[in-house]
Chain A
Amino acid sequence: MNITKLVLSLSLFSFTPYLFATPADDAIKKGILLLGNGSEPHSLDPHINSSMNGHHVIMSLIEGLIAPHPTDDSLPHPGIAYKWENESNTVWTFHLRDANWTNGDPVTAHDFIYGFKRILSPRLGSQYAEMLFSMVNAKAFNEGEITNFTKVGAKALNDHTLQITLKDPIPYFYNIIKHTSWFPVNQRTVEKHGEMDDPSNNWIREEYVGNGPFKLKNWQMNQIIEVEKNPDYWDSDSIKLNGIKFFPIVSENTENQMFDAGALHLTYQVPADLVPVYLERKEPTLRIDPYLGTYYYVLNVTVPPLDNPKVRKALSLAINRKSIVRRVTQRGELPATSFTPPGISGYTPEPMETFNPKRARELLAEAGYPGGEGFPKFTLLFNTLERHKAIAEAIQQMWNQILGIDIEIRNQEWKVFIDTVAAGDYQIARKGWIGDYMYPDTFLRILKSDSGQNDPNYSNPEYDSLVESSYMEKDDRKRLDILAKAESIILDELPIIPIYYYVKDHRIDLRVKGWHPTPMDVRNYKNVYFE
C-alpha cells in the first residue's frame, strides 16, 4: 500500500459530525447547486470550446434551437425553436419563439446564421466546424473554396423562421444541432470586442451575452465559474435553481474530500481507488451511469502481422474483458461486445465473440504462428496514466499466457502519444472515442477510409459504401440495419479491438433531485431542484 492509498483509505472514515451547517446546506437554502467541473475550461465560446468542462458551463448560458432532453439524449426537446418540420429529412425549418439575449436584443434566426457563419469562417480555425458539414456547402465555405455565405444551406426566412438545407437526409438532425457548435452568438457583443473570426476575440471574458436559463456572474480562472438564474429567459418560471457554482477541481482526491466535507453537491469524478470500496459498502452517494464512449485498442492494419485479420481476431479473443473490468478498472464498466456503446434506441449490433482462448489459439495457428512461435515482437502503446498501464499489463499477460506471444508495453506523454499515433508510427495503441450525438454513425464514420480519425489506417470499400448508403436511406429501421451490418464488418475484421464501454461516476448529494444523467452527459439544468 503506497502513501497516496493510505491517505485515500483514511478518508473513508468520514465521520463528519454535521455540527455546523456545511456550505452544501447553505447553498441548498439559497437554491445554488455546487458542482465539481473537472478542470478549467479553455474557453466558454461555443464556437471555440472543445472540452467537456467548457461544454457543461456553456449549456447553462446559451440555448440552441433544440434543448437537451431532460431524460433521454435521443429525443429532441424544444429550445429556442418551439416547433420544427422537415421535408424528406433534408430541408429543416425551425420556428423560433420570442426570446432575448441578456443584453436585451431579441434572439432571431439571423443570430443563428451569424453563428454558423462564424464557426465556419476559416480564420476562426474552429475544431468543431466539421460538425456543421452536413449543411449544403458548409465544408466548401470552411475550406475557403467559396466565400459567399449565402450559398451555404442556411437561410433566415424571416426573423423567426430558420431554414437549414442538408447535403444528405439526416432524420436525427435534431440530435446533431444540440451541440454547442450550432449555437448562436450575439453579433453586437462579439463585434464590440473584436473581429467575428478572430480566435482571440475575448467577448466571453469582457461581456458574456447569452440567451440561456442562466447568466454568467463571476468567472475566476482555476477557481470558480458562477452563473445565476436569468430572469429574462423565455421559460424562467420553470427554472428551479437560483444559480450554479462550477468548481474546476483537477484533483479527484480533493474533490472527494470536498464532497465528504459538504462543500459540493455533485462531483465530476470519483477517485479510481475508491470506487470498488464504495461499491462494496453500497455507498448511497455513489452513482455510476452509462456513458456514450468506448475504450479500445487500435491495430495498425498496415503493419504485418496485424494486417492479417486472423491475427487480429486471435488477439481479440484472447482478451478476458470481464476480468479486466472486474479486477483492473473496477469502476463498474461494461465489457464491450461492439464498437458502438449500447443506449442508442433501436440499434442493436450483432455482439462479437469476446473471450475464447481455444479459438484464439486456433486462429493464431492458422495465421502461421502455432503457439505464438515466430510471432514478431511488437509494442503496445498508451498515454501515461496508471489505469492504461494496468490494463495494458493485464492484456500483455493474457496474450502471453493464452497465445504464447510476447509483447512490449510502452507509455508516452499525452501530446507525444497523439502525434505518434497520428503519424502511424505504432503497432497497437490505446484509444477512446466519445460519441458527439446519439446515433451509431458518430462511431462508425471514424473508420471510413476517408476519415481523418481513422487511426488504424483501415480501408474496406464494402464498409465505406454501407456507411455511405445509410445516409441515403430514408427509412429509420432500414438505416439502422445497414449501420448494424457495417458494424458487423468491423467486429469481424477488427481494425480496432473494443475493450469496455465507459461509465461516468459521480458522488451526488441525495437532496439533489431532477438530475438525470444521460449517456452523453449533456445537462439540462433547468429541471434540477433540491428536496
Chain B
Amino acid sequence: MLRFILIRLGQAIPILLAIYTITFFMVRAAPGGPFSQERKVAPHILEQQMEYYGFNDPTYIQYFRTLWQHISFDFPPLTSYPGLTSKDIILDTFPVSLELGILAMFVAIAIGLPVGILAAAKKNSLLDYAPMSFAMIGICLPTFVIGPLLALLLGVWLGWLNISGWFSWSDRILPALTLGLFYAAYIARLTRGGMLEALNMDYIRSARAKGASERAVVLVHALRGGIMPVISFFGPALAGLISGSFVVETIFQVPGLGRHFIQAALSRDHSLILSTVLFYAALIIIANMVVDIAQVMLNPKLRYG
C-alpha cells in the first residue's frame, strides 16, 4: 500500500508541473492585464507597477521565479490585494471552504444514499419514482436558484436563519443545504444505478438462497458492491466541494476560497490564479488517491489484481 501511495505521489509531480506551465502561459496570453483600469493609469505609474511586480523581466525568468516561489512556499505580493500573498488568502479561506464542503458532503450522503438504496430496493414503485423525480429536479435546478429560494423560505418568510454571513453555527445550514442537495441528487441516482446492478448479481441470489433477510441482502451484501460508482464520484466531488463553490459562497456571503478562484481570474491576478489552480489540482490528486485506496479496500478483486 505504501508503494502504491508513493507511486501516485510521484506521478503527481509531472501533472502539477504541466498544470503550472499551461496556466502560466494561458494567463499571460489572456488579453487584459492586472493593471487595466477604467481610469487609465499614467504611463510612469504603470511602469512602476510592472517593475515592482516583476512583469518587466523576461518571461523565462518569470516562469522559473514563480515556479520556485510555489515550491518554496514564498509567495510574491498580490496585485489585487496589496499587502497579502496567495498563502495568506488560501490559509484564511480554505478552512471555511473545507468546513462548508464537509458539511455539504454530509448532507449529500445523508440524503442521497438512503434515497438511492430505497429506490433500488423498491424498484418501479412510488418510493422509487417520487424521490428520483425529485433528484432529477435537484440536478437540473442550479444552486443559484435553490439557494435564493431556500433563503427566501427559511430566512425572509420564516425568519429562522440568517440569509448570509458565516458567524454562528446556524449560518452553516443554508449554504451546506444548498450545496449538499445538488450532490445528494447525484448520489441518489448513482446509488440507485449501482444497487440495481448489484441486486441482479449471482452472489445476491446465493445470499437469498441461503435465507438472508431482505434487509441484510440490501444493506450488507448489495450495498458493498452497489456503492462503488458513488465512491468513484466521491473523489472529484469532494475536491470540488472543499475547494469552495463560487456560486454558493457568493449567494450566502461565505468567506471561502471559491470566490477568490473566480475573482483572481477576473482581476488578472497572475499569482493568485496560479496558486489557486495548483491548490485545486493538488486537492483533486489527493482526493482521487484516497478514493482509489478506498476502492481497493472495498473490492477484494482490486486488492489482488
Give residues in A with beta carbon < 8 Å to B.
Answer: 3-4, 7, 10-11, 14-17, 19-20, 22-23, 42-43, 45, 48, 50, 122-123, 125-127, 129-130, 142-144, 199-202, 204-205, 220-224, 247-251, 253-254, 257-258, 260-261, 263, 413-420, 422, 432, 452-453
Contacts and interface: CB of A to CB of B under 8 A. Distances in A.
A127 B48 CA distance: 11
Contacts, number: 156
A254 B252 contact: yes
A220 B256 CA distance: 11
Given A10-B152, A202-B84, A16 B159 contact: yes
A410 B83 CA distance: 37
A221 B252 CA distance: 14
Most B C-beta atoms less than 10 A away, residue of A125, A129, A142: A125
B45 interface: yes
Given A7-B145, A222-B259, A419-B36, A257 B82 contact: no
B255 A221 contact: yes
A431 B186 CA distance: 44
Contacts of A123: 48, 52
B55 interface: no
A263 B161 CA distance: 11
A23 B162 contact: yes
A19 B152 CA distance: 17
B155 A143 contact: no
A417 B37 CA distance: 10
B38 A249 contact: no
A251 B32 CA distance: 24
Interface residues of B, number: 53
Contacts of B268: 415
Interface of B: 31-33, 36-45, 48-49, 52, 77, 80-84, 89, 92-93, 141, 144-145, 148-149, 151-152, 155-157, 159, 162-166, 249-256, 259, 266-268
A518 B159 CA distance: 34
Contact of B156 (A16, A249, A418): A16
Contact of B83 (A23, A205, A261): A205
B45 A129 contact: yes
Contacts of B162: 23, 261, 263
A200 B83 contact: yes
B165 A223 contact: yes
Given A4-B145, A15-B157, A254-B148, A223 B253 contact: yes
A199 B255 contact: no
A415 B33 contact: yes
Contacts of B39: 50, 127, 453
A42 B82 contact: yes
Given A123-B52, A129-B45, A257 B255 contact: no
B216 to A, nearest CB: 44
Given A7-B149, A142-B44, A254-B164, A43 B81 contact: yes
Given A45-B82, A221-B92, A261-B156, A418 B148 contact: no
29 contacts: A3-B141, A4-B145, A7-B149, A14-B157, A22-B159, A23-B162, A43-B81, A43-B82, A43-B83, A50-B37, A122-B44, A122-B48, A127-B37, A142-B45, A199-B82, A205-B84, A221-B93, A222-B254, A251-B250, A254-B252, A257-B148, A257-B155, A263-B162, A413-B32, A414-B32, A418-B38, A419-B32, A420-B31, A452-B40
A99 to B, nearest CB: 26
Nearest to B53: A199
The 8 A-B residue pairs whose C-beta atoms are closest, nearest first, are A415-B32, A202-B83, A200-B77, A222-B255, A125-B48, A223-B255, A418-B36, A125-B49
B157 A20 contact: no
Nearest to B76: A200
B253 to A, nearest CB: 6
Contacts of B256: 222
Contacts of A122: 44, 48
A258 B52 contact: no
B275 to A, nearest CB: 15
A137 B197 CA distance: 81
Contact of A414 (B84, B159, B266): B266
Given A7-B145, A249-B164, A416-B31, A453 B40 contact: yes
Q: Which of B145, B156, B251, B259 has the most CB of A within 10 A?
A: B156
